[in-house]
C-alpha cells in the first residue's frame, strides 16, 4: 500500500502547506489579525519612568540636647526632608546658618530608610529616623497637590519653630529679675578689707566609702569669695603629700545647675554671700553637703552688728558633731591545745606579732638541775582502762627545775625501741586552775595527766631524792 503523502512542509521551523490535490484544507495563519492598527496602539511607560523627577519636600525640625552649656540646655535644628517617589528613598539636609558653629548641610544621604514610607510623612506628624525624631510642620505646594490627588488629607502648615525653650537673652533677663536684692561685692574693698568670716563645717562622706571629715570655710567679705581647707588634725593618716585645700578661693555657685556650667564666672548666676551662711545650716559645695556647726568670735560679732534685729546670741550656739569612738575589740588569745605544734610561749608569739620572735627564756641559777622519775601509764579515771601493751611500756619523766618544763622518753623493750614521747615544754594541769606543773607536783606516786595520758611517777634516782628532801 502506498503511504500517505505529508501535506505540510517546514521552513525555518514554521509549517506551511504544500501545493497538492489532497483533501486536507489548510488555512494561512495570521498572528496579527486581531491586533489594533498602528496608530491606535497606546504607548507603555514603566512606573519608575512616570515618577522620575517627582520629589516631595517637607520642612521639619528635631530637638538636640546640649550638654554642659551655659546659654542653653536644648537646641532646635531645622531640616528639609526629601522623599523620592520613583524608589521611595529619603534625603535630609540642614540649611546652613552663618556663624552657627555647627557642621550643617547634608544630614542624611539619599537611600531607602527601612520602616519609613510615604504614609509616615505628613504635616503635623513625627517620624523617627535613626534615633532622631523629626516633627514635620510644613510642606511645599507640589507636595500638597500630589498628596491631595492620591487621596491623602494634608493639614494646614504649622507655625515655624523659633527654638526649643527660651533664648539665652530671655534666660539672662529672667535670672536677673528673679535674683534677690543681694548687694554687689564690687567696691567693698574700702570697708571690708582684711575682714574674713570663718565657719567650722563637717562633711559626711561615708556614703561613698569615705569618712566624716571636718573643714574650715573661710568667707572673704572683700569680694564674696570662699575657700575651704581641711582641719590638719583630721588630715592625719591621709598621706603627707596630699593637700589640705578642698576649694581654692573663688566664688561659690548657689545652685547645683550653675555649678555644672563651664566657663568664666559672671553675674548671670547666683553665688553664695554672707546672708546664706548660718550656724546650723547646710551649704552645698559642688554637690557636697557641708554642715556648719560653729564659727569664730569675729564672725559672731559681725553678724550681730550687721543684723541686730534679726539674729541673736542663740543663733550662734555651737552644735555637737562629735561621735562616740569605736570600741576597740579586746585582744583575745585563743586557748593553746596540748597537741599544738611548739610550746605555748612559742605559739603565743604568733598572736602578738605578724613576724613572730623567739620567746625569751628566764635563765635561773638552777637551770641545769633535772629531776628524773620512772613512770608507767595508768588509767585517768576508774572508768578508763589501759591496754596491755601500754601497761607494759616504761618511761623516764624529766623535770627541769630552771624553767619548769617536762620531757618524757620511752625506754626500750622487747616490743618497742627507745623514743621521745614528749618534747621539752611546759604542761598545764587538767584541772580547774589550769596552772603549770611545778616542783611541788614532782613526788613519787604522783599522777601527771599529759596529752590525755596519765603517768604515775615511780622510783627516782639518788640526786632527785636528795634534792626533793632539801627542797621541802
The pLDDT of residue 96 is 87
- Spatial contact of 340 and 329, defined as CB atoms under 8 Å apart: no
For residue 108, what are the β-bridge partners?
A: 92
Q: Supply the Cα-derived Rg of the chain in whole angstroms.
A: 53
125/235 same-domain check: no
Tell me how far the alpha carbon of residue 377 is from its chain's centroid.
66
Count of Cβ atoms closer than 10 Å to residue 18 Cβ: 12
In a domain, 155, yes or no: no
Residue 278 and residue 193: Cα distance in Å, rounded?
A: 22
387 secondary structure, DSSP code: -
Residue 283 and residue 201: Cα distance in Å, rounded?
A: 9
**Ramachandran angles phi, psi of 272, nearest 5°:** -70, 130
376/461 same-domain check: yes
The pLDDT of residue 2 is 65
Count of Cβ atoms closer than 10 Å to residue 254 Cβ: 17
144/203 same-domain check: no
* First CA to last CA distance, the chain: 164
Q: What is each CA distance from 191 to 45, 205, 225, 304, 471, in whole angstroms?
A: 91, 38, 16, 17, 94
CA angle 247, 252, 256 (to 5 degrees): 105
**Dihedral through CA 234, CA 236, CA 240, CA 242, nearest 10?**
-30
- Spatial contact of 457 and 372, defined as CB atoms under 8 Å apart: no
Count of Cβ atoms closer than 10 Å to residue 393 Cβ: 17
In a domain, 237, yes or no: yes
The pLDDT of residue 244 is 82
The pLDDT of residue 290 is 92
**Ramachandran angles phi, psi of 119, nearest 5°:** -70, -20
192/311 same-domain check: yes
In a domain, 86, yes or no: yes
The pLDDT of residue 263 is 47
In a domain, 412, yes or no: yes
Give the total number of structural domains in the chain.
Answer: 3
- Spatial contact of 180 and 199, defined as CB atoms under 8 Å apart: no
430 secondary structure, DSSP code: S
In a domain, 34, yes or no: no
In a domain, 36, yes or no: no
251/305 same-domain check: yes
- Mark residue 268 as left, alpha or beta (left: phi above 0; alpha: psi -120 to 50; beta: remaining): alpha
The pLDDT of residue 401 is 85
111 secondary structure, DSSP code: E
Which strands, in side-by-side order, build the sheet including 245-250?
245-250, 225-230, 212-220, 196-204, 289-295, 282-284
- Mark residue 286 as left, alpha or beta (left: phi above 0; alpha: psi -120 to 50; beta: remaining): left
Among the candidates 255, 283, 316, a domain finishes at 316
- Spatial contact of 272 and 283, defined as CB atoms under 8 Å apart: yes
137/187 same-domain check: no
The pLDDT of residue 34 is 65
62/108 same-domain check: yes
Among the candidates 260, 293, 316, a domain finishes at 316
Residue 272 and residue 256: Cα distance in Å, rounded?
A: 12
Closest CA to 230 of 213, 218, 209: 213
For residue 272, what are the β-bridge partners?
A: none
143/191 same-domain check: no
pTM: 0.39
Closest CA to 293 of 329, 321, 274: 321
- Spatial contact of 336 and 424, defined as CB atoms under 8 Å apart: no
The pLDDT of residue 91 is 95
The pLDDT of residue 164 is 45
414 secondary structure, DSSP code: S
288/197 same-domain check: yes
In a domain, 38, yes or no: no
349 secondary structure, DSSP code: H
Domain extent for 449: 362-471
Count of Cβ atoms closer than 10 Å to residue 97 Cβ: 11
The pLDDT of residue 27 is 53
* Buried residues in 230-243 as b, exposed as e (16+ CB within 10 A): beeeebeeeeeeee
Residue 55 and residue 65: Cα distance in Å, rounded?
A: 31
CATH number of the domain at 285, please.
2.30.29.170
In a domain, 383, yes or no: yes
Among the candidates 316, 348, 375, a domain finishes at 316
108/219 same-domain check: no
* Residues 6 or more apart in contact with residue 61 via CB below 8 angstroms: 76, 77, 78, 79, 134, 135, 137, 161
271/367 same-domain check: no
**472 residues of the chain, pLDDT tens digit each:** 566 667 777 777 677 777 655 554 555 556 566 666 666 656 777 777 888 889 999 999 998 887 776 666 778 889 999 999 999 999 999 998 887 778 888 999 999 999 899 999 999 999 999 999 999 999 999 999 999 998 999 999 998 887 544 555 565 666 666 554 455 545 676 777 788 999 999 988 877 677 788 899 999 988 889 999 988 655 555 555 456 888 899 888 887 766 665 544 455 578 888 888 989 999 989 888 899 999 999 999 999 998 888 888 888 899 988 888 778 888 788 777 755 566 777 888 888 888 888 877 766 555 678 899 999 999 888 778 888 888 888 899 999 888 888 899 998 877 777 788 888 888 888 887 878 888 888 888 899 988 888 999 988 888 988 888 887 6
411/291 same-domain check: no
Amino acid at each position: 500500500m502506498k503511504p500517505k503523502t505529508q501535506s505540510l512542509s517546514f521552513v525555518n521551523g514554521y509549517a506551511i502547506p504544500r501545493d497538492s490535490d489532497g483533501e486536507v484544507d489548510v488555512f494561512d495563519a495570521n498572528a496579527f489579525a486581531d491586533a489594533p492598527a498602528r496608530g491606535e496602539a497606546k504607548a507603555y511607560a514603566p512606573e519608575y519612568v512616570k515618577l522620575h523627577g517627582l520629589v516631595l519636600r517637607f520642612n521639619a525640625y528635631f530637638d538636640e540636647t546640649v550638654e554642659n552649656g551655659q546659654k542653653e540646655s536644648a537646641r532646635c535644628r531645622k531640616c528639609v526632608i526629601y522623599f523620592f517617589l520613583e524608589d521611595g528613598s529619603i534625603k535630609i539636609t540642614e540649611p546652613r546658618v552663618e556663624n552657627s558653629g555647627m557642621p550643617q548641610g547634608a544630614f542624611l544621604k539619599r537611600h531607602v530608610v527601612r520602616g519609613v514610607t510615604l504614609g509616615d510623612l505628613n504635616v503635623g506628624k513625627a517620624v523617627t529616623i535613626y534615633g532622631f525624631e523629626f516633627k514635620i510642620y510644613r510642606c511645599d505646594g507640589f507636595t500638597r497637590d500630589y498628596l491631595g490627588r492620591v487621596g491623602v488629607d494634608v493639614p494646614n502648615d504649622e507655625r515655624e519653630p523659633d527654638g526649643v525653650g527660651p533664648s539665652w537673652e530671655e534666660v539672662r533677663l529672667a535670672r536677673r529679675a528673679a535674683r534677690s536684692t543681694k548687694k554687689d561685692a564690687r567696691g567693698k574693698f574700702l570697708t571690708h578689707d582684711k575682714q574674713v568670716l570663718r565657719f567650722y563645717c563637717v562633711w559626711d562622706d561615708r556614703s561613698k566609702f569615705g569618712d566624716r571629715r571636718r573643714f574650715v570655710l573661710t568667707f572673704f567679705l572683700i569680694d564674696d569669695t570662699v575657700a575651704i581647707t581641711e582641719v590638719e588634725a583630721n588630715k592625719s593618716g591621709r598621706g603627707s603629700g596630699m593637700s589640705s585645700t578642698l576649694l581654692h578661693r573663688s566664688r561659690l555657685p548657689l545652685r547645683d545647675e550653675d555649678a555644672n556650667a563651664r566657663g568664666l564666672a559672671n553675674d548671670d548666676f547666683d553665688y553664695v554671700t554672707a546672708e546664706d551662711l548660718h550656724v546650723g545650716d547646710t551649704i552645698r559645695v559642688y554637690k557636697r553637703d557641708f554642715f556648719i556647726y560653729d564659727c569664730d568670735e569675729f564672725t559672731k560679732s559681725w553678724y550681730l552688728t550687721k543684723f541686730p534685729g534679726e539674729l541673736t546670741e542663740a543663733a550662734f550656739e555651737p552644735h555637737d558633731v562629735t561621735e562616740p569612738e569605736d570600741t576597740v575589740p579586746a585582744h583575745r588569745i585563743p586557748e593553746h591545745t596540748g597537741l599544738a605544734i611548739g610550746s605555748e610561749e612559742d605559739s603565743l608569739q604568733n598572736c602578738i606579732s605578724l613576724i613572730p620572735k623567739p620567746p625569751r627564756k628566764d635563765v635561773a641559777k638552777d637551770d641545769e638541775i633535772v629531776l628524773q622519775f620512772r613512770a608507767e601509764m595508768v588509767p585517768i579515771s576508774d572508768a578508763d582502762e589501759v591496754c596491755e601493751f601500754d601497761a607494759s611500756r616504761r618511761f623516764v619523766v624529766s623535770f627541769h627545775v630552771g624553767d619548769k618544763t617536762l620531757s618524757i622518753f620511752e625506754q626500750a623493750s622487747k616490743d618497742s625501741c627507745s623514743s621521745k614521747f614528749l618534747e621539752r615544754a611546759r604542761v598545764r594541769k587538767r584541772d580547774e586552775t589550769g596552772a603549770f606543773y611545778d616542783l611541788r607536783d614532782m613526788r613519787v606516786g604522783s599522777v601527771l595527766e599529759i596529752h590525755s595520758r596519765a603517768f604515775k611517777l615511780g622510783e627516782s634516782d639518788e640526786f632527785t631524792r636528795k634534792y626533793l628532801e632539801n627542797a621541802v
